[in-house]
Structure 1
Amino acid sequence: MVARMKHFVYILWSERLGRYYCGESGDVEKRLTVHNNCGYKYTTKGIPWVMIRVFEVADRSEARLLERKIKKRGIKRFLEAIE
């Protein structure tokens, strides 16, 4: 039996760009640090990123499904719908 590890879907906000970013990770604090230290080319221009929402799910496959759902709907619309 394979142990399932918790996974997270996170939403970041960049005041500089005025836009959101959604991703998934097993360690959201480490991932935020990487985003804010030029670790990913796509998010470098938005530094500093602020973590505004985190969703905990059972495993990575569930996280990827939720991430896809959020991105398909649009991050802003998704956030408006849950608040």
Structure 2
Amino acid sequence: MSVILILYLCADATRTNCQAVRAESWNGPHAYERCVDVALGLTQEMTAPNRDRHRFVCETLGEEAKPAEHKVQPAFIHQSFRM
């Protein structure tokens, strides 16, 4: 199984205007559990306002999916996000 950790950087707490950034990936039978552990730790390290705006999501890639199809390319924006 392949799992990717995605960070959604959002402009505000409504999470309607978000940018997805691929943060990490894992392969193997325990990939999802490892991803969830990392996501929880990173979420706890954020400040409270950032926890309201941004979030980490573990996404499982299907067996038929090729990892190259799921690469999230970060878009360059003029706004700065701080954690």
Q: TM-score, normalising length from structure 1?
A: 0.39
Structure 2 length-normalised TM: 0.39
Q: Which has the higher helix share?
A: 1
